[in-house]
Amino acid sequence: MKKFVLAGMLIFALILSACGGGPGGPAGGPAAAQPTTAPATDTETGSPLAAQLSVYNWSEYIDEDLLVQYEQEYGVEIIYDTFASNEDLLAKLQAGATGYDVIFPSDYMVAQMIELDLLAEIDTGQLSNFGNLDPDFLDAPFDPGNRYCVPYQWGTTGIAYQPGHPAFADAPPDSWAYLFDPTYLEQYAAAGVNVLNDQRELMAAALFYLNSDPNTTDRAELESARDLILQAKPYWKTFNSEGYESTLLIPGEVVLSHAWSGGAAMAIDATMDDETGESAWAYVIPQEGAVKWLDNICIPASSTRQETALHFINFLLEPENAAAITNVTFYASPNAAARSFIDEEILNDPGIFPPEEVEDRLQWLREVGDAIFIYDEIWTAIKGQ
């Protein structure tokens, strides 16, 4: 579990910005420990548990000790692998990949996967810990009645930056202009700028800056966002959404990054000076608004071990386990019962649990129907130039 002392810098960034308003690491995940017992039986359903369970998650997005704990307690070997974006996850499943039992898509991707019949329905009545979840995160528009998924972690998408850089000495980069406007970028691009390698997230940031709906389906608005991104692209060093906090932020390979709140928090904590209480990094939510997202735990329709998948999901919903995940990932938990087990510094940090005035400027990403083909076309143009 990480030492956590970053509330001050995040509060500083949020106050100065007067603004409103998912996760990295090397693919592959931890090697599964060998179970110490034969598979047990689910005491609630009476169903025997499978010998193995394949889990496909965002990288650095769980307390790995929980995987070992589950294996040792229930005799189920966890086969753990990671992905870098929702689109990567979808592409893998659409390409016919089978064998995954538990996956973690974001809100808008859940809706798309439901439409494509890629998810199994779940019976929340079999989840004794389902009642631990905050009602504010249940019955979401992308999954009415939680027929397919349960909430896992939530957070925001903003800008991580080095407050010690001269370009940010007088004020934090509290506008998406710092990511897209060459007038700003020219001041620090030589020191390195990173953007998330995530189609919907990067498009949403550009749309916020253009005062457009981040879920727009209007081709003209999407093409304006494309042109804005292409104008800024020469100033960016990297497109990285997997491991960017450890490979780019913490070693100082960039001075500004499009970032998920938890990734920024990890960099802030890792570069904190214990003597001065100052960090090399800070996080701000741009004044134009930003994405608020909810990642979910779902079961692929192709899974042949759905009872064991439900058992594992229920295990993750236990208050102590949900809190352990937040204490490691630095992302907010939708598990209300977990709050008493979450580190106080995390609970009190507005960069992780935003205050109401900040939440008022946050928006969910939603499924965009057939307009996804326009998004794909534009993304191909962005990555190809």
Q: How many CA atoms lie within 13 A of 136 on its CB side?
A: 8
pLDDT score at 22: 43
CATH topology of domain 7-20+158-292+362-384: D-Maltodextrin-Binding Protein; domain 2 (3.40.190)
DSSP 3-state assignment of 71?
A: helix
Task: Output phi, psi for 161, to 5 deg.
Answer: -155, 160
* Residue position matching structure tokens 């932020």: 249
What is residue 36's predicted lDDT score, i.e. its pLDDT?
59
Q: At residue 250, what are phi and psi to the nearest 5 degrees? A: -60, -45
Domain 52-154+294-354 falls under CATH 3.40.190.10: yes
- Strands 102-103 and 52-58 come out as parallel
b/e sequence 161-194, b meaning 16+ C-beta within 10 Å: bbbeeebbeeebbbbbbbbbbeebbebbbebbbb
Give me Rg for the CA atoms of the chain.
20
pLDDT tens, per residue, the chain with 385 residues: 232 333 333 433 443 333 333 443 334 444 555 565 678 777 776 779 999 999 999 988 999 999 999 999 999 999 999 998 999 999 999 998 889 999 999 999 999 999 999 999 999 999 999 999 999 999 998 999 999 999 999 999 999 999 999 999 999 999 999 999 999 999 999 999 999 999 999 999 999 999 999 999 999 999 999 999 999 999 999 999 988 999 999 999 999 999 999 999 999 999 999 999 999 999 999 999 999 999 999 999 999 999 999 999 999 999 999 999 999 999 999 999 999 999 999 999 888 999 888 888 999 998 899 999 999 999 999 999 8
Domain(s) labelled CATH 3.40.190.10 in the chain stretch across: 7-20+158-292+362-384, 52-154+294-354
pLDDT at site 201: 96
Question: Is the Cβ–Cβ distance between 168 and 162 less than 8 Å?
Answer: yes
The answer to whether residues 25 and 80 touch, using CB atoms and an 8 Å cutoff, is no
